[in-house]
A = this chain, B = another copy of it.
Amino acid sequence: MTRTDRVAATRETILSAAERLFAEHGVAAVSNRQISQEAGQGNNTAVSYHFGSKDALVRAIVRRHTEQIEETRLRMVLRADGSAEVRDWVACMVEPFARHLADLGAPTWFGRFSAQVMTDPAYREIMSREALNSPSLLRAGEELRRRLPDLPPDVRLERQDMVGRLMVHTIAERERALAEGAPVSRESWDRAASGLTDALTGLWLAPVTAPSART
């Protein structure tokens, strides 16, 4: 094992340990010290040495996963090209995420980690920059917009936000359930993705009502 390999392995160990701890306890609640210890590093400087800051560490974790998800999603978007079905484009958003978690095998933490990062005021920006601004998601969003020409722009933006939020939090919840004894299989993730896609499609297609007068 060369020196470079060892370093890379240490980095990976830290990333995995941090991902798990963040998912379990929240980003703010975990110290760099804890992460270093959990990663089997005797010192307490490992995180700042390898990543510089907690911020950069979070970014690195996000990137490690989103790169693979992005790859899958790009392929899926290309395959869906031309489809007039709203559901197909919603599936482009949901399925690559779920499939990635299925591919990782149990136990996974990235779902819960994502939800934590997305909610934490100090880190939410990271998530939107690194994950939600990906080319494939923007493309799917654009296609979706064309399939829903009657949706007022402000409502569309609202719902886009809802969809992103709901996707992450629902997947996190599903992951939590799977971690607590539910059978973890590719099928269970497929079912979760399918149910989520159904729900989000319904959300997109919901008729727009004028706010009713108060009584």
Contacts and interface: CB of A to CB of B under 8 A. Distances in A.
A121 B25 contact: yes
A95 B124 CA distance: 27
Nearest to A202: B206
Contacts of A210: 194
A50 interface: no
A44 B205 CA distance: 52
Contacts of A28: 25-26, 28-29
Copies in the complex: 2
A122 interface: yes
Given A28-B26, A29-B28, A206-B202, A191 B162 contact: no
B209 A26 contact: no
A126 interface: no
Given A26-B26, A122-B25, A199-B206, A162 B170 contact: yes
Interface string A175-211: 0000000000001001101111111111111111111
Contacts of A169: 119, 165-166, 169
A8 B173 CA distance: 38
